[in-house]
């Protein structure tokens, strides 16, 4: 398999007054193109910090992150911004939609940031919300807002889709729909998806599962036969 990302000795420290918090401690791994990876771990294990570093939102205190074989320059805000815009899509637990834009306009906004965007209307149809295209976020349920946020992230047609607890605020039925959308994007377009969750059952859809604890990557497990999202018990 072709390497997409490689982390080498990633360390991340935060200063809280006179105390230094070691969020990540020399973490190393490789993620391959077209792979579905789930990151599991308790709160405070370093999952979200790792995801933010993979997405170029945060920089490492030490270590290197390679994208398609090239190390990111932590000191260049311009390079990190270009990396995020051209290669990375984000889906968060809380949807971050633009309140003054309709569902369709929120998705179209992402198309403007991409050189090869997917069709916004088709994506809204795929997430089951084409009939809600002209509704503003305040008129959508939480599950509908999350599906709009996912359509927006997919519209960029990113090589790397990063998802931080995308089903955490959803009921089981809507959560299953969201997972199916993410899984279909991964399989249909052969794009890499990295998903953080607390739910161990969700890990069953992944090709590989990364287990984090206390800032360390404790182990990596491979699923020989990943389940379909609709087969996962919540």
The answer to whether 210 touches 220, Cβ cutoff 8 Å, is yes
pTM of the model: 0.93
Per-residue pLDDT tens for 188-226? 889 999 999 988 889 999 999 999 999 999 999 999 988
Per residue in 76-97, is it b (16+ CB within 10 Å) or e — as a string? eeeebeebbeebbbbbbbebeb
Predicted pLDDT at 167: 85
C-alpha to C-alpha distance for 11 and 160, rounded to whole angstroms: 22
Closest Cα to residue 179, out of 109, 111, 91, 52?
91
CA distance 143 to 227: 23
Q: Is the pLDDT score of 176 beyond 90?
A: no
Tens digits of residue pLDDT in 37-68: 999 999 999 999 999 999 999 999 999 999 99
Residue 234: the pLDDT is 67
Between the alpha carbon of residue 160 and those of residues 23, 36, 81, 110, 190, the distances in Å are 23, 10, 15, 15, 10
Nearest to 107 by CA among 87, 93, 127: 127
Percent of the residues in the chain that have a pLDDT greater than 90, as a whole number: 74
pLDDT at 169 over 80: no
Q: How far apart are CA 33 and CA 68, in angstroms?
A: 9
Does the pLDDT of residue 33 top 90, yes or no?
Answer: yes
Q: What is the pLDDT of residues 123-158, one digit of tens each?
A: 999 888 999 999 999 999 988 998 999 999 999 999
pLDDT (0 to 100) of residue 193: 97
């Amino acid at each position: 398999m072709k390497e997409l990302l490689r982390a080498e000795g990633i360390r991340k420290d935060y200063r809280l007054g006179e105390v230094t918090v070691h969020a990540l401690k020399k973490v190393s791994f490789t993620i391959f193109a077209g792979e579905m990876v789930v990151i599991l771990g308790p709160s405070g294990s370093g999952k979200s910090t790792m995801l933010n570093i993979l997405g170029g939102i945060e920089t490492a205190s030490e270590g290197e992150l390679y994208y398609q074989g090239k190390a990111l320059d932590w000191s260049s805000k311009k390079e990190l911004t270009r990396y995020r815009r051209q290669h990375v899509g984000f889906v968060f637990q809380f949807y971050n939609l633009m309140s003054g834009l309709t569902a369709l306009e929120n998705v179209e906004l992402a198309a403007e940031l991409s050189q090869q965007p997917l069709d916004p209307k088709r994506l809204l149809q795929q997430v089951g919300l084409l009939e809600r295209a002209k509704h503003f976020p305040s008129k959508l349920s939480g599950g509908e807002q999350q599906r709009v946020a996912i359509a927006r992230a997919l519209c960029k047609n990113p090589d790397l889709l990063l998802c931080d607890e995308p089903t955490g605020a959803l009921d089981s039925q809507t959560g299953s729909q969201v997972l199916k959308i993410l899984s279909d994007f991964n399989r249909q377009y052969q794009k890499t998806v990295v998903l953080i969750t607390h739910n161990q059952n969700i890990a069953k859809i992944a090709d590989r599962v990364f287990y984090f604890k206390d800032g360390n990557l404790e182990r990596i497990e491979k699923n020989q036969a990943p389940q379909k999202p609709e087969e996962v018990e919540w």
